[in-house]
């Protein structure tokens, strides 16, 4: 891909592209869906919570953009395949995938049951695999596309109770690298996004615990939680031509979480 340099702002323009956001009913997925639409994409918002997906789609439409809502359960191959088929049939293809669904059962590894392990693996890792496989087939046939899979700073830094969740996020990072190596000749890019602490409805119980909240805040260089909207920049970057030479990487949007050596500032 070559750019003449006449207007580099166009690198972020997503006009004419179809974005599928799975897990767009709330949190980062919701912000990402709205952000992709604001940059010009037609956005299909899919979620197991159809009402939440419809709410996000209506917000996008209220802002003057094109959007639709779909129900999907990424624990089901049949449900994922039906979603992808319907999007391609109605919109003609898929240019961008943002794959969000995940669950976290906070328990020490020795206390995990087989059923709990299977539940986390099936949604986080296998659900991402199902989406990447189905969308990957579409993008390979098209000869274009950008996939954004969701990792986490927990892929490298964990705390008690995060072993299984962190394992799925580390696996997604490696799956991203492998899929990128397979899809490059088809002009399809695959990257992962790894946030740290984001103020979403799912993290409210943590933020409501003053001691826990303060400890997590201090492990970022900004000493605060991120708003979900702060992930829109990285998402649009990875989705757009601004990252045309970027594939197989994990972008850590973590406020320095993975670079801080402890929580003590020495007297220097």
CA-CA distance, 102 to 149, in Å (whole number)? 11
DSSP state string for 119-131: HHIIIIIIHHHHH
Q: How far is CA 169 from CA 69, 152, 192, 212, in A?
A: 27, 6, 10, 22
Answer whether 120's CB lies under 8 Å from 70's CB.
no
- Which pair of structure tokens corresponds to residue 9? 């702002």
Catalytic-role residue among 8, 165, 245, 264: 165
| Residue the block writes with tokens 């990402």 | 32
CA-CA distance, 104 to 163, in Å (whole number)? 10
Give catalytic status of residue 165 as yes or no: yes
Catalytic residue list: 165
């Amino acid at each position: 891909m070559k750019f003449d340099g006449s207007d580099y702002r166009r690198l972020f323009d997503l006009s004419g592209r179809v974005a599928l956001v799975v897990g767009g009913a709330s949190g980062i997925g919701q912000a990402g869906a709205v952000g992709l639409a604001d940059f010009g994409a037609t956005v299909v918002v899919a979620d197991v919570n159809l009402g939440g997906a419809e709410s996000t789609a209506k917000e996008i439409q209220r802002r003057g953009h094109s959007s639709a809502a779909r129900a999907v359960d990424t624990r089901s191959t049949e449900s994922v395949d039906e979603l992808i088929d319907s999007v391609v049939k109605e919109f003609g293809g898929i240019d961008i995938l943002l794959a969000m669904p995940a669950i976290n059962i906070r328990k020490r590894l020795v206390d995990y049951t087989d059923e709990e392990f299977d539940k986390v693996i099936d949604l986080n890792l296998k659900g991402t695999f199902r989406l990447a496989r189905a969308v990957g087939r579409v993008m390979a046939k098209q000869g274009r596309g950008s996939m954004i899979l969701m990792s986490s700073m927990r892929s490298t830094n964990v705390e008690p109770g995060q072993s299984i969740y962190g394992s799925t996020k580390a696996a997604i990072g490696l799956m991203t690298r492998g899929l990128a190596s397979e899809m490059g000749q088809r002009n399809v890019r695959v990257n992962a996004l790894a946030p740290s602490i984001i103020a979403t409805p799912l993290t409210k119980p943590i933020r409501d615990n003053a001691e826990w909240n303060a400890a997590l805040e201090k492990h970022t260089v900004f000493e605060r939680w991120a708003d979900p909207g702060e992930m829109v920049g990285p998402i649009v970057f990875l989705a757009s031509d601004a990252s045309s030479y970027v594939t197989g990487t994990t972008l850590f949007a973590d406020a320095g979480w993975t670079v801080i050596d402890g929580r003590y500032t020495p007297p220097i």
